[in-house]
Amino acid sequence: MKTKAKKVTPEFNISKALIVIEKDADLNDMFREKFGTDYKMSHALINSGTGIKASAEKYAKSLFEKIIVVRPQLLEQYNSLKLPVKEEVKPNKKKRWGLKAIDKDIADGGNKVKQIHRTAKKIQLLKKIFTKLEMRSFNERFTKKTLTDSELREIGGAIETFNKKMDSILKPKK
């Protein structure tokens, strides 16, 4: 009594499927005609966790199920692809160090204020100034006159001076 070996369909992987689609001229034409996709961008979106459009992924899965799995050469190519194993990405701590967090760090450090704490507090104050100036300039443009020409020039000059001083810190010469 003979038993037929059951054909095992590999699990669908969008990254592997896109690589096979891109390399096969016919599949590439079909996919690009429908989505005009840049593959590098698609892989970047997939790797970032954002993913590609649901309709594009559904179409790639359809090509996988109806063509790639059926054609031995494409299936072999698909199965031979080894994608790097993603390390589990731990969420980063907050990238924001606000006034409350700075004060907490000072308290945790025995109330010893370091230069980094003073500077960080001044940066937070600078953010507040930026927000106020941004709102005033918005109001100036769309609703009411709040700043004189001399005040606007003074703001512009202060920002230019600030940028010049910070340039050497933010873009050090190598």
Q: What is the pLDDT of residues 17-38, one digit of tens each?
A: 999 999 999 999 999 888 877 7
Q: With a cut of 70, say whether residue 39 has pLDDT above it.
A: yes
In the predicted model, what is the mean pLDDT of residues 1-22? 80
Q: With a cut of 60, say whether residue 105 has pLDDT above it.
A: yes
Query: What is the domain partition of the chain in residue ranges?
Result: 14-80, 99-170
Give which of 65, 68, 36, 41 is closest to 52, Cα–Cα. Answer: 41
Q: Report CA-CA distances (Å) from 131 to 121, 125, 126, 153.
A: 16, 10, 9, 18
φ/ψ of 24, rounded to 5, equals -90, 125
pTM of the shown model: 0.47
Give which of 38, 27, 29 is closest to 64, Cα–Cα. Answer: 27
